[in-house]
Amino acid sequence: MTPSPTVPVALRWQGDATGHLELVDQTLLPVRLEWISCRDVDTVVEAIKSLRVRGAPAIGIAGGYGLVVAAGEAVRDRMTLDRGRGHILAQAERLATARPTAVNLRWAVERCIAVLDRLPDDASTITMAEALLAEARVIHDEDRRLCAAIGRHGAAILPRGGVLTHCNTGGLATGGAGTALGVITTAWDEGRRFEVFADETRPLFQGARLTAWELVQRGIPVTVICDSAAGHLLTTGRVAACVVGADRITANGDTANKIGTYGLAVLAVAHGVPFYVAAPSSTFDLSLETGAEIPIEERSPTEVTNPLGVIAAPDGARAYNPAFDVTPARYIKGIITEHGVIEPVTRDRIRAVLATPSR
């Protein structure tokens, strides 16, 4: 495959306020690149739950556009104002709860609903749809800009040497160039050259299927390793830093991310390798004091016993399949945001950095 300079975006809106959302079906990568047309809310919810679209920022954006789809349903079905508003609010809750751990999803949905609350009581359903589309596009555009800022801040502090990442945090997981992967690609675009290692990220292999695919598309060499090989790799001195994303960060800096992140952080600290988290401010949930309060999604055991449709365990064996774990703040060297780098990771430093203008 000939590498291209850009990676396809995760999602896009087609048409006007009664148009539809299109998503890359990430469950088919890296074998096929196909788009899904979401013309009803059921399709959007299914796409989020089944990980056809995934990554905290991307599912937040999808949730915002999903509300536009709901408003379009109200317009096409010629609902009355009260019924149309009620339909949108009901679909908003379905969208917001499609996946429980990533805070960006509910944040984006509630931000769009706030726009409805500012409309006149007699606003038509098409007016509601237009207002929701405008806000969803703002959220999408904001994410592009903050990904670029995260990339700049992260590249500036990335030490010389190899970089190890976990799961997927690039253009497929966000509305822009990515968070943790955006740090890596920004440094590469600035002329830095280094080894990039990607944990395969079991049980769904997002690192092997998606991160490696994005890097190949960009022409950046990547080495995929088994998750269980990370400890050995860190002993070799080939890794100068670990950079990962986040799905929710609490007031004290505890960070929920894809399962396996916690173990990688412990290994990195044990080997004196700095462990960084890259995430936008929308991923912070300051209403939660510590990571113990973060709801952890548990997914189907078949993802473990039959990964990617391959029988990997005997009939009768049970599986435990938490989709995320929580890395305590004490293991995190710094959190890279669009506002700058939070270091050290403390409550006071988090509030101070998030209060500064993004740059």
Active site residues: 247
E-assigned strand segments in the chain: 11-14, 20-24, 35-38, 162-165, 196-199, 223-225, 239-244, 248-250, 255-258, 275-278, 284-285, 324-327, 334-337, 340-342
Pick from 10, 18, 16, 67: which is nearest to 44 by CA? 67
Let me know: does 206 contact 167? Beta carbons within 8 Å: yes
List phi, psi (to 5°) of 294: -75, 125
Q: Provide the 10 A C-beta neighbour count for residue 82.
A: 9
Edge-to-edge strand list for the sheet holding 35-38: 11-14, 20-24, 35-38
If phi > 0 it is left, if psi is from -120 to 50 it is alpha, else beta; for residue 224 that is: beta
